[in-house]
Amino acid sequence: MHHTRLFAVLVTLTLGTAAAQQKIILKAADIQPENYPTVAGLKYMSDYLKRATNGRIELQVFAGGQLGDERSTIEQTKLGVIDLVRVSSAPVAQFYAPVGVYNMPFLFRDSSHMWKVLNGEVGKEILSGLNSAGFIGLAYYDSGTRNFYTTKKAIKSVADMKGLRIRTQQNQVVLDMMEALGAKPVPMAIGEVYSALQTGAIDGAENNFPSYGSSGFRHFEVARNYSLTAHSAVPELVLLSKTTWDRLSKSDQMYIQKAAQASVEVQKKAWKALSDQSKKQVQKDGAKVISVNVSEFQKAMAPVYTKYKKDYGNLIERILDVK
Ligand code: BDP
286: Cβ contacts below 8 Å, ≥ 6 apart: 224
The alpha carbon of residue 294 and the mean position of all alpha carbons in its chain are separated, in whole angstroms, by: 24
Question: pLDDT above 90 covers what percent of the chain?
Answer: 92
Distance 169 CA to ligand 1 centre (A): 8
Dist. CA 249–CA 39, nearest whole Å:
26
Is the confidence at residue 239, as pLDDT, over 50? yes
For ligand 1, mutation pick of 71, 208, 211, 275 (most atoms within 8 Å of CB): 211
Dist. CA 91–CA 97, nearest whole Å:
10
Burial class (CB in 10 A: 0-12, 13-18, 19+), 52: middle
Is the confidence at residue 300, as pLDDT, over 70? yes
* pTM for this model (two decimals): 0.93
Burial class (CB in 10 A: 0-12, 13-18, 19+), 106: buried
Is the confidence at residue 29, as pLDDT, over 60? yes
pLDDT at position 40: 98
- Whose C-alpha lies nearest to ligand 1, atom 4? 88
pLDDT in tens, 64-82: 999 999 999 999 999 999 9
Mean pLDDT of 57-62: 98
Alpha-helical runs (H) found in the chain: 37-52, 70-79, 89-92, 111-119, 121-129, 172-180, 193-199, 209-212, 242-247, 250-284, 294-300, 302-308, 315-321
Q: Which of 18-22, 109-113, 153-157, 248-252 has the lowest mean pLDDT?
A: 18-22
Q: What is the domain partition of the chain in residue ranges?
A: 17-142+234-276, 146-233+278-321
pLDDT at position 112: 98
Query: What is the full DSSP assignment across 125-162?
Result: HHHHHGGGGTEEEEEEE----EEEEESSS---SGGGGT
pLDDT in tens, 180-232: 999 999 999 999 999 999 999 999 999 999 999 999 999 999 999 999 999 99
Distance 317 CA to ligand 1 centre (A): 26
CA-based angle 240:116:305, to the nearest 5?
Answer: 90
310: Cβ contacts below 8 Å, ≥ 6 apart: none
Dist. CA 154–CA 223, nearest whole Å:
10
Fold matches, 17-142+234-276 and 146-233+278-321: yes
314: Cβ contacts below 8 Å, ≥ 6 apart: none
Is the confidence at residue 12, as pLDDT, over 60? no
- Where residue 11 falls among pLDDT bands split at 50, 70, 90? very low
Distance 190 CA to ligand 1 centre (A): 7
Dist. CA 149–CA 137, nearest whole Å:
31
Distance 88 CA to ligand 1 centre (A): 6
CATH classification code of 17-142+234-276: 3.40.190.170
Which one-letter amino acid corresponds to residue 56? Answer: R
Type and span of the H or E element at 57: strand 57-62
Mean pLDDT of 124-128: 98
Pocket, ligand 1, Cβ cutoff 6 A: 31-32, 70, 87-88, 143, 169, 190, 207-208, 211, 236
Tell me which of 48 and 2 has the higher pLDDT.
48
Strands 21-30 and 8-12 turn out to be antiparallel
The CATH fold of domain 146-233+278-321: D-Maltodextrin-Binding Protein; domain 2 (3.40.190)
